[in-house]
Amino acid sequence: MSKNDEESLRPATRLVQGGRRPEWTGDPRLGGAVVNPPVWRASTILYDNVADLKARGHATHDKLYYGRRGTPNVWALADALTDLEPGAEGTLLYPSGVAANSAGLLALLSPGDHLLMVDSAYEPTRAFCNGMLARMGVRTTYYDPLIGAGIADLLTDQTKLIFLESPGSLTFEVQDVPAITAIARRRGIVTMLDNTWATPLLFPALAHGVDVAMMSLTKYAGGHSDAMMGSLTATRAVWPKLRSAAYQLGQAVSPDDCAMMLRGLRTLDVRMARHGENGLAVANWLAARAEVGRVLHPALSGDPGHALWKRDFNGTSGLFGFTLKGVDEAARTRFIDALSHFGIGFSWGGYESLVVPSDPATIRSATLWTDPDPLVRLSIGLEDPADLIADLERGFAAL
Ligand SMILES: *Cc1c(COP(=O)(O)O)cnc(C)c1O
């Protein structure tokens, strides 16, 4: 398939077809092909002779060279992800989402540079800015997720990167991504977006002007709570820096994990539709409950981010939050402990529903989180929402 053909296909079709090359799934001597690449586990690659070894250029992304540079499982997953972001040059894979974020920031920033980081960012992303990047001499300014075009006032001559996360994964503010990326492009500043909540199906990041789209594949892309990985998908302009840094840092992902991730990815379109639908059913039910202060879900019409969400997103995922009105933390604990269909645990985006208490007030710095009501975060899975609602009813009874 030519690149133009691929880009004209709709996302659900690209999800099914991406990364499927005949040379990875069949051998003429076997008389046929399998659908998915078998797992190619490798450290050593064997060459025919010394001339063959010497002739192999080592900056390869789709020819066997050495295990760390990947095997067909790695390339198939990377290609499938690249196909989801029209205009992307390629995708790099990392052992976790945090590793992807850190590697991207390390690749694109140097001592003396200034970074603008959204105040609603995932907490370990902040930890990397305040820790290793600060030690390297990179200065970070946190900015209001609702700043939009006002970002222009925060730019300095040293500003090299603007990092976005939309919606924020604890507090669910929707950013005006096109307004920010347009300003960044005019000033020659790179933008990087943590797109884990939406995935490219709900928010094609590069089409909205983003240079580097990050995903924790651990969440929706994998979708089964059994493997960890992260990805960076980038434009041609940024790609060489990212790839060079990835080769220098040497973080390899296992072919077994890539095969599992690719298996999850193939069904992302149907899972995401159901996560979104179930999540909305639960969110709407919560919004009508007297015990609930507010529901933080951009697809609800009363949400402050609703207009931007409606303009820019193709749908909703199943992760959102809500506050318990006028109660203390002990009551929140009773509520959560009374649930039986929600696992209590970190991560999200798997087929099973999860719940966690969350406390954004302790994480912010540029903007304050002043809501005194305790916050609960739900990842709505693929169960029947009526059963989840009955379970939440038991939680309210325990308040
Ligand atoms: C989980 C998460 C990450 C980190 O991903 P891991 O694979 O757990 O390292 C990054 N960003 C967001 C928004 C996340 O929810």
Q: Locate the ligand 1 atom nearest the alpha carbon of residue 217 and give its number.
A: 7
> Do residues 280 and 226 share a domain?
no
Token pair in block for residue 101: 């974020």
What CATH number is associated with residue 333?
3.90.1150.10
Q: Locate the ligand 1 atom nearest the alpha carbon of residue 219 and give its number.
A: 1
Which residue among 98, 120, 214, 317 has the greatest number of ligand 1 atoms within 8 angstroms of its CB, and so is best to mutate? 98
Question: What per-residue confidence (pLDDT) applies to 119?
Answer: 97
Q: Which residues does the chain have with pLDDT short of 70?
A: 1-7, 58-60
153 is catalytic: no
Q: Is the dihedral of CA 101, 104, 110, 114 positive or negative?
A: negative
Any ligand 1 atom below 6 A from CB of 222: no
Token pair in block for residue 201: 């199906």
Distance 107 CA to ligand 1 centre (A): 19
Domain closes at, from 212, 242, 266 = 266
What CATH number is associated with residue 168?
3.40.640.10
Any ligand 1 atom below 6 A from CB of 94: no
Which residue among 192, 219, 348 has the greatest number of ligand 1 atoms within 8 angstroms of its CB, and so is best to mutate? 219
Any ligand 1 atom below 6 A from CB of 91: no
Distance 398 CA to ligand 1 centre (A): 31
Distance 16 CA to ligand 1 centre (A): 25
Any ligand 1 atom below 6 A from CB of 181: no
65 is catalytic: no
194 is catalytic: yes
> Do residues 251 and 293 share a domain?
no
- What does pTM read for this prediction? 0.96
Give the whole-angstrom CA distance, residue 295 versus residue 308. 17
Distance 355 CA to ligand 1 centre (A): 16
Whether the CB-CB separation of 379 and 350 falls below 8 Å is answered with yes
> Do residues 211 and 181 share a domain?
yes
Question: What per-residue confidence (pLDDT) applies to 62?
Answer: 82
Q: Locate the ligand 1 atom nearest the alpha carbon of residue 121 and give its number.
A: 13
> Do residues 274 and 262 share a domain?
no
Domain closes at, from 202, 231, 266 = 266
Any ligand 1 atom below 6 A from CB of 196: yes
> Do residues 262 and 284 share a domain?
no
> Do residues 221 and 286 share a domain?
no
Distance 192 CA to ligand 1 centre (A): 14
Which residue among 216, 225, 232 has the greatest number of ligand 1 atoms within 8 angstroms of its CB, and so is best to mutate? 216
Token pair in block for residue 209: 């002007």
Any ligand 1 atom below 6 A from CB of 170: no
Distance 316 CA to ligand 1 centre (A): 18
> Do residues 197 and 240 share a domain?
yes
> Do residues 224 and 331 share a domain?
no
When divided into structural domains, the chain yields a total of 2
Any ligand 1 atom below 6 A from CB of 104: no
> Do residues 283 and 260 share a domain?
no
pLDDT in tens, 157-196: 999 999 999 999 899 999 999 999 999 999 999 999 999 9
Any ligand 1 atom below 6 A from CB of 122: yes
Distance 98 CA to ligand 1 centre (A): 6
> Do residues 221 and 344 share a domain?
no
Any ligand 1 atom below 6 A from CB of 103: no
**For the CA atoms of 17, 21, 27, 30, what is the dihedral angle to 10 degrees?**
0
Q: Residue 13's domain spans which residues?
A: 3-266
Domain closes at, from 219, 234, 266 = 266
Distance 97 CA to ligand 1 centre (A): 5
Nearest CA among 175, 204, 164 for reference residue 315? 204
241 is catalytic: no
> Do residues 164 and 32 share a domain?
yes
- Name the active-site residue from 63, 68, 236, 394: 68
Question: What per-residue confidence (pLDDT) applies to 56?
Answer: 82
Nearest CA among 191, 173, 174 for reference residue 182? 191
> Do residues 331 and 216 share a domain?
no
Give the whole-angstrom CA distance, residue 282 versus residue 382. 12
- Name the active-site residue from 119, 176, 194, 257: 194
